[in-house]
Amino acid sequence: MKYISVLLFSFLSLPIFAQKPCEYSTNVTDSIGTYKSTKEYLISEKVFGGNSNYIFYSLVLTDGVPTLNVQFIQKSKDFVKANCFDKDSKIYLQLQNGKIVTLIHIDQESCGTMIRDDKGFDNRVKTGIFMFMKDNYEDLKTSPVTLMRIKYLTDTEDYVFKKEFTAELDGKTYKPETYFMDNIRCVE
């Protein structure tokens, strides 16, 4: 009887520990190569005084090379400052275990695009593509991220990651700290 109880408990708790399946926005293989991109995931949201700032991540696998696409959306009725990426731009991720993971921007300058909407808001949309370095890539699988530092062309900004937050944008719950732990396997 004891054996059956343990077996039944193990069977019922299995779904709790199972990994959720990878969700891709793009998954293409053709004669040119392969391209997989995970769905965009909200990492940071700041809404204050009529200004909104959002940062989205998506992991991409292009012909076996994993990269991180970072999209910034800034919305304001005031002037929106342009922070540009260049060949020297980097993202530093401080992990909970104390290690720092560095991602290097591709050699392409980008300051984003300014779009004015019908409500009079200026919207700046900027995307950066960052490559992982082999020496500390494995650390992202095992430790949560607590801080992200972005080095732009002329400025540096820090973002503290939350364990969990409910976004004003869509009402969904996001877990930025464990984003890599939950999703990096999708681009391996």
CA distances 156 to 61, 83, 86, 152, 175, Å, are 27, 9, 13, 6, 24
User: From residue 53, how far is each of 113, 116, 124 by CA, in Å?
Assistant: 15, 15, 10
Average pLDDT of 19-34? 84
pLDDT one-digit tens code per residue, 47-66: 888 889 999 999 999 888 89
pLDDT digits (tens, 9 = 90+) for 155-176: 999 999 999 999 988 989 999 9
* Residue whose structure tokens are 């709790």: 16
Task: Tell me the per-residue pLDDT of 7-16, one tens digit each, with 9 for 90 and over.
Answer: 445 544 444 4
DSSP secondary structure string for all residues of 59-100: EEEETTEEEEEEEEEEEESS------B-TT-EEEEEETTS-E
pLDDT at position 105 over 80: yes
